[in-house]
Amino acid sequence: MQGKIIKGIAGFYYVHVVESGVYECKAKGVFRKEKIKPLVGDNVEIEVLDEAEKTGNIVEILTRKNELIRPAVANIDQALVVFAVTEPQPHFNLLDRFLVMMESKEIPVVLCFNKKDIATQPELAKLEEIYRACGYRVIFTSALKQENVECIGSVLAGKTTAIAGPSGVGKSSLINLLQSEVQMETGSISKKIARGKHTTRHSELITIDENSYIMDTPGFSSLYVNDFEKGELKYYFREFALYEGKCRFNGCDHVHEPGCAVKEALEEGKIHPVRYEDYLEMYRELQEKKRY
Ligand SMILES: Nc1nc2c(ncn2[C@@H]2O[C@H](COP(=O)(O)OP(=O)(O)O)[C@@H](O)[C@H]2O)c(=O)[nH]1
Ligand SMILES: [Mg+2]
Ligand SMILES: [Zn+2]
């Protein structure tokens, strides 16, 4: 029987099998010998030990499409990156780092800007201008007024989606509207701390319907771009692709080289300065890293 690992706790893996439910499984010794650790999101073959008790063994891990380290998860089809249009205002550098990380893993991204109910027209227009121009799908929602939430629902259909974004932007509120299986706690962080709720969480997939899953990933404020060379960074800024090969120098990194087509596009307003500045900052970080 085949299923998907939706949760792993203390050596047990919870495997969701469409139409027959969730089985509590152990991974057989063979994986430990081969040093393969099953991950949330893995598609696995299980043998059922007890149908009534819903227990089994994982006997095979099917080939992974991709895997992320933090959060540890396999086979993500896409990421839904959620920020608020305002309150809190979008932290562009963080957003661009996340986009770079997903581009480097070839994971498609859909951008959701929530709290459109309290946004002004210029705020919405700015976000649209920056990110739609890069070729990202951008959806504006209000979890509070339940606006455009069905649009998010259709993005999630039939896929496994990592939902990421800083805290306070409305991720949990959106997730609560999208399914009825789990009710996530919403509200301000200070309220949660005051109530003594611990914030460390394990990765867990929430089933939306029989073949759609979402994962609420913890805030990614400590996100560094570090697992590639500085010369690769330019490929993870989608809007640069149009100018690739048009610079005076072969292998131009679009930083201080003369005759750079990307910098010309920047000056002509075809590339947004917010994006270019974030590119430079990440580029310099990668450069620094090399020196040590
Ligand atoms: N005005 C407005 N407030 C929202 C919206 N969505 C969530 N909130 C509020 O923002 C706060 C944080 O929401 P929460 O879902 O916990 O955010 P999370 O930390 O990203 O999971 C809560 O006080 C919510 O009531 C929205 O669309 N509009
Ligand atoms: Mg939350
Ligand atoms: Zn260039």
What are the domain boundaries of the chain? 2-61, 67-216, 230-291
User: Looking at residue 143, what DSSP letter applies?
Assistant: T
Taking only the tens place, the pLDDT of each residue in 210-255 is 889 998 776 554 455 567 889 999 999 999 999 999 999 999 999 9
219 is in an annotated binding site: no
Ligand 2 centroid distance, CA of 168 (Å): 7
Fold of 230-291: Ribonucleotide Reductase Protein R1; domain 1 (1.10.40)
Is any atom of ligand 1 closer than 6 Å to the C-beta of 171? yes
pLDDT of residue 78: 95
CATH superfamily of 67-216: P-loop containing nucleotide triphosphate hydrolases (3.40.50.300)
135 is in an annotated binding site: no
What class does CATH assign to 2-61? mainly beta
159 is in an annotated binding site: no
Ligand 1 centroid distance, CA of 173 (Å): 6
- In terms of Cβ atoms closer than 10 Å to its own Cβ (0-12, 13-18, 19+), residue 277 is middle
Taking only the tens place, the pLDDT of each residue in 109-156 is 999 999 999 999 999 999 999 999 899 999 999 999 999 999 999 999
Is any atom of ligand 1 closer than 6 Å to the C-beta of 217? no
Model's pTM, two decimal places? 0.89
pLDDT of residue 230: 92
166 is in an annotated binding site: yes
Q: Quick one: pLDDT band at residue 33, thresholds 50, 70, 90? A: confident
Enumerate the H helices of 26-170 as residue ranges.
29-33, 92-104, 121-133, 149-156
Let me know: does 3 contact 15? Beta carbons within 8 Å: yes
Nearest protein CA to atom 2 of ligand 1, as residue: 115
**Phi, psi (5° rounding) for residue 139?**
-125, 130
Which atom of ligand 1 is closest in space to residue 169's alpha carbon? 20
Ligand 1 centroid distance, CA of 170 (Å): 4
Cα gap 58→35, rounded to integer Å = 15
At residue 15, the 3 state secondary structure works out as strand
Ligand 3 centroid distance, CA of 126 (Å): 25
Nearest protein CA to atom 8 of ligand 1, as residue: 170
